[in-house]
């Protein structure tokens, strides 16, 4: 009965996506160790036992999450870098994409950050997060270099500017995860690195 099988497969993936989404929220707020399988199961209204039909273990679920989120983010950065347009335009596109992503999934990025910082996570997730951070940093550095060559990005030590730009993006993500309303900040961020500052109106 191929149709049934196909339907099953569809349901399976739908369920997995749902679990990932809910798990991301819980992991982001409670950390890997602080999140219980029971919590996740309850949040998706299914039994613990059933959860294990969809994910082999807590570690696997977490690692999958980190993997997807970090791959997705790297992809986003690569797309931004490879776009046509001025540095400011590309940076605007990137930050806009990130902010939009954070608006619908404020937790994914946070999970990656925790995996990056913490030793108390599955080592695969930790390693993946570190690779992610390096890759992103490389992309940012490349972006800065290109921007400086066309005088679109302010002068200064590339390595340092890249770090600072990374900090700003990371801070943006953390601010979204904490939960309070984050004011639109994109233009200020772009201004900071392009040297074209707006007026001081509040």
Joined together, the tokens standing for residue 155 give: 């002068």
Nearer Cβ to DNA (55/77): 55
Is 145 in contact with 84 (CB distance < 8 Å)? no
Host H or E run for residue 122: none
- The interface partner of residue 82, options being a copy of itself, DNA, none and the CB cut-off 5 to 8 Å by kind, is none
Q: Which of residues 37-56 bind a copy of itself (CB under 8 A)?
A: 47
Binding mask 168-187 for a copy of itself (x = CB under 8 A): x-xxx-xx-xx---xxxx-x
| Host H or E run for residue 195 | none
Residue 58 engages DNA in binding (rule: CB under 7 A) = yes
86 in contact with DNA (CB under 7 A):
no
Which of 110, 115, 139, 140 is in the footprint of a copy of itself by CB under 8 A? 110
Closest CA to 162 of 182, 149, 147, 183: 147
- Is 56 a residue that touches DNA (CB under 7 A)? yes
Nearer Cβ to DNA (59/74): 59
In angstroms, the CA 62 to CA 111 distance is 9
Which one, of 190, 197, 192, lies nearest residue 85 by Cα? Answer: 190
Of 56-64, 91-99, 152-160, 183-191, the segment contacting DNA by CB under 7 A is: 56-64
Distance in angstroms (rounded) separating the CA atoms of residues 92 and 8:
41
Handedness of CA 187, 188, 194, 195 (dihedral sign): positive
The site for a copy of itself (CB under 8 A) is made up of 2, 29-35, 47, 110, 114, 116-120, 148, 154-161, 163-164, 166-168, 170-172, 174-175, 177-178, 182-185, 187-189, 191-193, 195, 197-202
């Amino acid at each position: 009965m191929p149709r049934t099988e196909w339907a099953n497969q569809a349901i399976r993936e739908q369920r997995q996506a749902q679990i990932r989404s809910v798990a991301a929220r819980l992991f982001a707020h409670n950390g890997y160790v602080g999140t219980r399988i029971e919590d996740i199961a309850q949040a998706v209204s299914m039994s613990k036992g059933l959860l294990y039909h969809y994910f082999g273990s807590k570690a696997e679920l977490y690692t999958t999450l980190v993997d997807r989120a970090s791959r997705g983010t790297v992809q986003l950065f690569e797309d931004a870098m490879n776009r046509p347009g001025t540095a400011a335009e590309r940076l605007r596109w990137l930050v806009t994409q990130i902010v939009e992503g954070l608006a619908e999934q404020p937790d994914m990025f946070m999970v990656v950050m925790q995996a990056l910082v913490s030793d108390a996570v599955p080592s695969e997730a930790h390693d993946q997060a570190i690779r992610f951070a390096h890759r992103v940093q490389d992309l940012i550095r490349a972006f800065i270099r290109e921007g400086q060559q066309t005088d679109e990005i302010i002068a200064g030590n590339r390595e340092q500017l890249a770090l600072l730009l990374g900090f700003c993006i990371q801070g943006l993500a953390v601010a979204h995860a904490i939960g309070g309303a984050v004011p639109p900040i994109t233009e200020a961020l772009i201004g900071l690195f392009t040297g074209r500052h707006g007026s001081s109106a509040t």
